[in-house]
Amino acid sequence: MQTNLAPEFRGTPDGEEADAILRACVHCGFCTATCPTYQLLGDELDGPRGRIYLIKEMLEGAAVSAKTQLHLDRCLTCRSCETTCPSGVRYGRLVDIGRRIVDERVGRGTAESALRWSLRKGLVSRPLFGGALALGRIAKAFVPSQMSRRIPASSPAGAWPAARHARRMIALEGCVQPSIAPSIDAALARVLDRVGISLVRVGGGGCCAALPFHLDDHDGARAYARRNIDAWWPHVEAGAEAIVVTASGCGVMVKDYAHLLARDPAYAARGERVAALARDTIEVVAPEWKSIAPLVALDKGPQRVAFHAPCSLQHGMRIRGEVEEILRAIGHELLPVADAHLCCGSAGTYSILQPELSSRLRRNKLAALEADRPNVIASANIGCQTHLAAGTSRPVRHWIELLDERMFGGSPAGRR
């Protein structure tokens, strides 16, 4: 698509990057069919091709309005359109640029700005979020069931094995996951410990940066990325093999640190190194499968499992089918899930900022996941898990917990 950038964008890094992305788009519209918001709303401007056009017009100097902002806000950044696109258009990057410019031009009302500010500050602060969650859990018994379902139940972590192996990997500290489900990282630590790898918590880090980034606080996001790099760096230099992220929504962000910090001379090289070391859970489990398989107890009987592949895993990282293979290999029955490419509506803070669309997407997703009455819904991202769990009475768990439960052996500390 030919674009004539307005003078203020010519020669700027964002303008040039957007121009290159726009040139790749041939306007074919294949992506529209797989866009969840287009499917719900049926408006071209609520699909990728329409949003691309809005961003192109803005970069060419057209006036922008609250309507432009709304169409971009309704996008989940699920990147299903990237998977479908035959021309390799990097839509996710384009919409990040577009949103930042729209927000600068149009601004936001006081109430919305306050909500976004409180999400940026509240969710990334572990003491604040952990305290609020603890209070919510106490109040859970006294509030209506519709509300109590939104408060995630506690899941005890179990033992975290001591760091006893020469092979080491670093765990992302994260922000909300340690309060909601400390069991996830601990399960991965036990799985890896049994095959000779210590997963270490290094302290000093925190939020991966995705939360502020997707709330258009790009400077704040860079600050979180630098903080994590500072915390990890001594361990990277000491030979840590990987930085493992059990929430795929966070993993896709850490893998983007090279891009996020590319214009920061002090951190660009470190950002690149860290991004190259970042791994999703499946990317450290699959290569060790030959050592893990003999430690799996296959006599526990199959559970009927429906796997929800998070968008960050299947579209963001392009990892498809591998988790399902492991779940089958440990003896579970994997149920078919219709429209598995579609987002569940969680999408970071989308469920709070676009509650109606988010609820409709969750209803559709749960209908697909529960069609064959699974015993458990498995996923790979804490955001999807808590969002789905709020709409069903079935257990929703991270798949690494299902693997941990089926393994035996390892250190006594590793047994539950």
Give the tokens for residue 146. Answer: 């519709």
Per CB under 6 A, which region of 45-53, 263-271, 353-361, 376-384 contacts ligand SF4?
45-53
Among 3, 37, 354, 358, binds ligand SF4 (CB under 6 A): 37
Q: Which is nearer to ligand SF4, 184 or 344 (CB)?
A: 344
Q: Which is nearer to ligand SF4, 79 or 332 (CB)?
A: 79
Rounded to 10 degrees, the C-alpha dihedral 337/341/346/348 comes to 140
Q: Which is nearer to ligand SF4, 26 or 62 (CB)?
A: 26
Residue 258 CB, nearest approach to ligand SF4 (Å): 22
Residue 289 CB, nearest approach to ligand SF4 (Å): 32
Residue 47 CB, nearest approach to ligand SF4 (Å): 6
Among 4, 8, 13, 28, binds ligand SF4 (CB under 6 A): 28
Residue 48 CB, nearest approach to ligand SF4 (Å): 4
Contacts of 130 (CB under 8 A, 6+ apart): 178, 179
Q: What are phi and psi of 245, to 5 degrees?
A: -125, 115
Q: How many CA atoms lie within 13 A of 182 on its CB side?
A: 11
Binding to ligand SF4 (CB under 6 A) within 69-98 occurs at: 75-81, 84-85, 87, 89, 91
213 is an interface residue for ligand SF4 by CB under 6 A: no
Per CB under 6 A, which region of 34-42, 102-110, 180-188, 295-303 contacts ligand SF4?
34-42
In whole angstroms, give the CA distance from residue 412 to residue 111: 52
36 is an interface residue for ligand SF4 by CB under 6 A: yes
271, 264 contact by CB (below 8 A): yes
Among 18, 35, 242, 396, binds ligand SF4 (CB under 6 A): 35
x/- mask, ligand SF4, residues 111-130, rule CB under 6 A, reads --------------------
Residue 91 CB, nearest approach to ligand SF4 (Å): 5
30 is an interface residue for ligand SF4 by CB under 6 A: yes
Q: What are phi and psi of 306, to 5 degrees?
A: -110, 120
Residue 299 CB, nearest approach to ligand SF4 (Å): 42
x/- mask, ligand SF4, residues 293-312, rule CB under 6 A, reads --------------------
20 is an interface residue for ligand SF4 by CB under 6 A: no
29 is an interface residue for ligand SF4 by CB under 6 A: yes
Per the rule left: phi > 0, alpha: psi between -120 and 50, beta: everything else, 386 is alpha
In whole angstroms, give the CA distance from residue 68 to residue 90: 20
- Amino acid, res. 68: T
253, 209 contact by CB (below 8 A): yes
Give the tokens for residue 47. Answer: 């699909």
Helices (H), ranges, 218-292? 218-237, 248-254, 257-260, 268-277, 281-285, 289-292
> Distance of CA 268 to CAs 181, 272, 314, 333, Å?
32, 6, 27, 45
Among 5, 18, 21, 31, binds ligand SF4 (CB under 6 A): 31
Among 25, 175, 176, 253, binds ligand SF4 (CB under 6 A): 25
H helix count then E strand count, the chain? 24, 8
- What number of chain residues touch ligand SF4 (CB under 6 A)? 26
Reference 379, options 327, 324, 310, 332; nearest CA is: 310
48 is an interface residue for ligand SF4 by CB under 6 A: yes
For binding to ligand SF4 (CB under 6 A), which residues are involved?
25-31, 35-37, 48-49, 51-52, 75-81, 84-85, 87, 89, 91
